[in-house]
Structure 1
Amino acid sequence: MKRIKLIASGGTISGKGVNQLDLKDYRTGYYTGEDLLQQVPEILDLSQVDVFQLANMSSTKMESSDWIQLKRLVDELLYQKDYDGIVITHGTNTLEETAYFLHLTVKSEKPVVLVGAQRPFTAIGSDALNNLWTSVKVAVDEQSYEKGVLVVANNEIHSAREVSKTDTYSLDTFQSGRIGALGYVNPDHIVQYDRYPTRKHTFQSKFNDSRLDNLPEVAIVYSHAGVSGDIINLIVTSEKYSGIVLAGTGAGRCSPKEEESLKKASQKGMVVVRSSRCFEGRVVPIESFDAFPFITADNLSPQKARILLMLALTLTDDLSEIQAMFHAY
Structure 2
Amino acid sequence: MLAAFACAHPVQAGDVAAAASNKPTVVVIGTGGTIAGAGKSSTDTSTYATATVGVDKIVQAVPELAAVANVRSEQVFQVGSKSINDDLIIKLAKRVNEVLKRDDVAGVVVTHGTDTLEETAYFLNLTVKTTKPIVFAASMRPSTALSADGPLNLFDAVVTASSAEAAGKGVLITMNDEIHTARDIVKTNTFKTDTFRSPYGPLGYVVEGKVLFYRNTARRHTRDSEFDIETIDRLPRVDIAYSYSSSDAAAYNAFAAAGTKAIVNAGTGNGNVSDSLVEPLVAIRSRGVFVVRASRTGSGTLYRGPSFKDDDKRGWIAVDDQTAPKARLLMALGLTKTQDVDALRALFTRY
Structure 1 residue aligned with 2:202: 181
Aligned match of 1:290? 309
CA separation in 2, counterparts of 1:280 and 1:90?
A: 23
User: Secondary structure, in 3 states, of the residue corresponding to 2:333?
Assistant: helix
Deviation at 1:80, TM superposition (A): 4.1
**Aligned twin of 2:277:** 258
Point out where structure 1 has 5 or more consecutive residues left out of the alignment.
Answer: none
1:271 to 286, 290, 298: 290
> What's the CA shift for 1:43?
0.3
Moved runs in structure 1, 4+ residues, more than 4 A? none
RMSD: 1.2
| Alignment correspondent of 2:134 | 112
| Contact map agreement 1:229 1:260 (CA 8 A) in 2 | no
1:166 corresponds to: 188
- Return the alpha-carbon distance in structure 2 between the equivalents of residues 37 and 124 of structure 1: 19
Partners of 1:283 and 1:299 within 8 A in 2: yes
* TM-aligned CA deviation for residue 210 of structure 1: 6.4
What is the match of residue 239 of structure 2?
219
Q: What displacement does 1:286 show?
A: 3.3
- Counterpart AA for 2:119: E
CA deviation vs aligned residue, 1:62-83 (integer Å, no higher than 9, x gap)? 1101111111111111114641
Percent identical among aligned pairs is 38
**1:31-80 per-position Cα deviation (integer Å, ceiling 9, x unaligned):** 11111111111101111111111122100111101111111111111114
Partner of 1:22: 44
Equivalent residue for 1:62? 84
Aligned pairs for 1:4-23 within 5 A: 4-23=26-45
In structure 1, give the amino acid aligned to 2:183: R
1:35 aligns to what SS in structure 2? helix
Residue number in structure 2 paired with 1:151? 173
Report SS of the residue matched to 1:215.
coil
Cα distance in 2 for partners of 1:80, 1:143 equals: 19
Change (3 A) 1:13 1:259: same
Contact 1:244 1:272 in 2 (8 A): yes
C-alpha displacement at 1:209, in angstroms? 5.9
What's the counterpart of residue 16 of structure 2? none
- 1:254 Cα deviation (Å)? 2.1
- Distance in 2, Cα, partners of 1:316 & 1:210: 18
1:215 and 1:82 map into 2 onto residues whose CA distance is: 31
Per the normalisation by structure 2, the TM-score is 0.91
How far 1:193 sits from its partner (Å)? 0.6
Deviation per residue, 1:213-268 (Å, 9 max, x gap): 11000010110111111111111122x20000010001001222222221111111
